[in-house]
Amino acid sequence: MHNYRELKVWQQSVDFAVEVYKQTKSLPPEEKYGLTSQIRRSAVSVASNIAEGAGRNTNGEFNQFLGIAYGSSCELDTQLIIANKLNFINDQTFEELETGYLGLQRMIYSLKKSIR
């Protein structure tokens, strides 16, 4: 088992989820239960799956949950692209968020490689 609170990737994913919440406050009210909710749940899922995997008994299980976290970041990518194409978030906000989740993806991938 790993202490997820000590993992830099978990710390960054929590900070990123908070940023996603802040940046999605301005999405249209009619998207509250649609795209806004989906985006937020995907961002939270990244951090949550890292934590859950770290709490498992084996590195194999941890690796599996890191894969799920990576998948959630890809889901988030898709949702943010859609929000940007619908002009719900501007290009600058999209690029800032993109930098964040691409960085998380690199960190998750590196951690997966190191525990194999």
Could you state, in order of their start, the residue ranges of all structural domains in the chain?
4-115
The pair of three-digit structure tokens given for residue 7, joined into one six-digit string: 């993992």
Residue 103's pLDDT is what? 97
Say which CATH architecture domain 4-115 belongs to: Up-down Bundle (1.20)
Phi, psi of 103 (to 5 degrees): -65, -40
Average pLDDT value for residue range 13-32: 96
Task: Kindly report the average pLDDT of the chain as a whole number.
Answer: 96
Give the whole-angstrom CA distance, residue 113 versus residue 80: 27
pLDDT band at 116 (very low <50, low <70, confident <90, very high): confident
Note the pTM of the prediction, 2 decimals: 0.93
Give the pLDDT band of residue 95 (cuts 50, 70, 90): very high
For the stretch 2-11, pLDDT in tens is 899 999 999 9
